[in-house]
Structure 1
Amino acid sequence: MRGQSGTSVRGRGKRWAWVGLAALVGLSLGPVAAQPQPATKDKEADLDKRVEAAVERGLEWLKRTQARDGSWSAQGGQYRVAMTALAGMAFLMEGSNLKEGKYSDQLQKAMEWFLSPARLQANGLIGDAAGGNFGSYMHGHGYALMFLACLYGEEEDPEQRARLERAIKKAVDFTCKAQTSKRHRKPEGKEVEVGGWGYVSATERNNFDEGSVTVTQLQALRAARNAGIAVPKEAIDKAVAYLEACTTPKGGIIYSYANSGGVAMAGQERPPLTCAAVTCGFSAGQYNSELAKKWIKFCKDHIPIAQGRQAHDEYQSYYFAQMVYILGDDRYGQLFPNEPKENWLTWSKYKKAVFPYLLEQQSNDGSWTSGYIGPVFTTSVNLAILQLEKGILPLYQR
């Protein structure tokens, strides 16, 4: 059921289920910035209209390119699990669900594709042997779990909910069993258990971990928890400790704890992974405000806004946009009160710089084609960024 704003009443009721960045850094959801002047309002209204038209063209392109079986794929028919999940998220962010909305048919087809025995394995893995997942299966599994959890959170039909619930619970169980486990000694001498995720499950006697898979699993678990699915606290605690162990003195996160020998050295930081860590947040009750401030400051200092192509551009933009949206226009200043206001990292500044840039990059057919993974990925990511302000899904709400 939806209110007049289009926001799911069910989704609004679940916002307590996962505390966002404001709780992470001990902030209240305080007042927004002062209202803009009329001339600024006119410019913002014009940009919003252009964004709305671009989003519609992008969604229609995704609709046209959905395969008959309900999936999407990247270049060469690859990465179908991840691409189908991310494309599905774009439709959910528009406001459609399985029962109603302009793109309910596309969501229904995508759900059926995921719940097919060819994708939903007996052990809970959501995989696709025919499509590939970046040379692994954990990336795709994480994105699929995120999508199904968000789909479940917006669904009210008892039969559909039961089907989705069974699949999500098994997928959560698989994710938790796939987590690595290592002992890490903190600088003050305390030893803790840390656990990330790698390209394949740790049950395959592979204790490799890396940041991009880890943040994908964390956001998926967050989506499941938002939807009311139980997520073991131990898995979150280990992941929180893992991200902290991977943070260098400069505040950035390194690629892999396993590859680093357990030492996060300055100079090895990855800005995309750092902003992804902020976006994913922590499980309830596991906060470290100083750590969050390090991450945010590192991202502000190392991620330029709308200045052309960069390494891992779409991946970085996907998470960085979510991070800045959560900050809004005031919270950076609350975190760093000694910084001049003109230096704050704010959503208004980001939107003003990035949205026109994204609109300029859109092709006539509605897609975005930059990047090496393919237009489905780039289009889905850009549609997610352009639709953050709708606030439809709890996963992306402030």
Structure 2
Amino acid sequence: MNSCMAWIALVWFGLTAAHPGIVHAQFPTAQMGEVVPRDVRETYEKGLKFLATTQTEGGSWEGGHAGPGVTGMAVMTFLASGEDPNFGIYSGNIRRGLRSMLSGQDATTGIFGGNMGHTSMYNHGFAMLAVAEAYGAVDDADLWSGNGGTNGANGVRSLGHSLELAVRGAVISQKKNQYGGWRYGPDATDADTSVSGAVMVGLLAARNAGIEVPDEAIDRGVAYFKSMTSPSGQVAYAGVGGFGDSIPRTSIGTLVYAISRRKDMSEFKATLGALTNRLEESSSGYLRYGQYYQAQALFQGDVDGWERWNDQLIRELKADQQEDGSFSGSLGKPVDTALGLLAMALNFRFLPIYER
């Protein structure tokens, strides 16, 4: 845990101990004197309550797409909320979600959701990202306390061990892939930029958390995205060519280049330009998925552009939020709610993956 996060945790603990009756979320940006728009705070808290009340006893979420990746997305919304992940009002939701993911991780391959067909590596990428964001913030001792903590013959699995296994699983999967990317299953020999983006961000988050990730894996992943990026900034989906217009794919490419520290590449400049030239447009399909990636891509690439786009995002999400706090979409309420909240969470700038 870095000194800033340690200081925040100390403040949280002091506030919680001094005021045990407090039940409202305390956003970290507010604690540090930064202003978070009221619409953001209210919309975000309403969405968190929906996710908190719809989590299953086993720690997952149901309704639409499900799996360890969906659980990971939801867990990240709580981690980004500003509540202490070990003592805050959502700490139980965080622990149940993490236990669900770690218990379902394949002890041999390290893959999350390896038996989930065409969503296997999506699940792996997002679950790996969530564990990386939790690592160093969530106390392993409290994570398994009073819950048996067994995982087959391996006993209690720590977040660090799980993350190391996940990285190894992703790297082995990539070595089997002729393109240097990933597709639906861990043994796939073809690749697409959507799945590859999920896994690459997970690997980069793990590296940011201090886990050893081979440079070769990152370099091959970046090279794959380079091969799929046109001079105009469009990012193809799969195969050769086919640079169809897609805000989510352009955003994924921008984000991968940015957090892998390749902002000097012409491909990064092209994809970022393609986004900043059309800030008023929305994704035509998979709206929340597009918002999730576009928020991060703009924030990493052009803060001024992100601020203009973010104002629009806040208005849209506030108008779209259902009475129960959820967001509707094509992926199911838990997924679309988590993605919408995570797009908004850049306003708090708390998750390590959101650091610039």
TM-score interval for Structure 1 and Structure 2 normalised by the shorter chain:
0.7 to 0.9
Match of residue 387 from structure 1: 345
Q: Which amino acid aligns with 1:8?
A: M
Mapped to 1, the partners of 2:160 and 2:206 lie a distance apart of: 10
- Partner of 2:324, secondary structure, is coil
RCO greater where, 1 or 2, for CA within 8 Å and sep 6 or more? 1
Match of residue 224 from structure 2: 242
Moved over 6 A (4+): none
Contact 1:73 1:79 in 2 (8 A): yes
1:381: how far off? Answer: 1.0
- The structure that has the greater radius of gyration is 1
Mapped to 1, the partners of 2:261 and 2:324 lie a distance apart of: 46
Structure 1, residues 197-234: CA drift from partner, whole Å, max 9, x if none? Answer: 11112xx3x31100101000111011111111010100
Trace 1:286-305 onto structure 2 (pairs within 5 A). 286=262, 288-301=264-277, 304-305=280-281
Match of residue 177 from structure 1: 172
Match of residue 123 from structure 2: 140
In structure 2, the gaps of 5 or more residues are 10-33, 144-155
Match of residue 9 from structure 1: 6
1:230 to 212, 236, 249: 212
Match of residue 54 from structure 1: 43
Match of residue 165 from structure 1: 160
Q: How many residues align?
A: 320
Contact 2:177 2:191 in 1 (8 A): no
Mapped to 1, the partners of 2:260 and 2:83 lie a distance apart of: 29
**Cα 1:284/1:324, change in 2 over 3 Å:** closer
Mapped to 2, the partners of 1:211 and 1:108 lie a distance apart of: 31
Contact 2:272 2:298 in 1 (8 A): no
Match of residue 146 from structure 2: none
Mapped to 2, the partners of 1:368 and 1:108 lie a distance apart of: 24
In structure 1, the gaps of 5 or more residues are 13-43, 184-193, 331-345
Contact 2:163 2:206 in 1 (8 A): yes
Contact 1:83 1:377 in 2 (8 A): yes
- Partner of 1:281, secondary structure, is helix
Contact 1:328 1:347 in 2 (8 A): yes
1:153 to 136, 146, 151: 136
Match of residue 96 from structure 1: 83
Mapped to 1, the partners of 2:191 and 2:86 lie a distance apart of: 39
1:305: how far off? Answer: 3.6
1:394: how far off? Answer: 1.4
Contact 1:54 1:359 in 2 (8 A): yes
- Partner of 1:127, secondary structure, is coil
Contact 2:180 2:224 in 1 (8 A): yes
Mapped to 1, the partners of 2:91 and 2:5 lie a distance apart of: 15
**Cα 1:138/1:249, change in 2 over 3 Å:** same
Contact 1:85 1:144 in 2 (8 A): yes
Q: Which amino acid aligns with 2:106?
A: L
**Cα 1:249/1:347, change in 2 over 3 Å:** closer
- Partner of 2:119, secondary structure, is coil
**Percentage of identical aligned residues:** 28
CA-atom RMSD in angstroms: 2.8
1:353 to 298, 301, 312: 312
2:331 to 373, 386, 390: 373
Contact 1:90 1:384 in 2 (8 A): yes
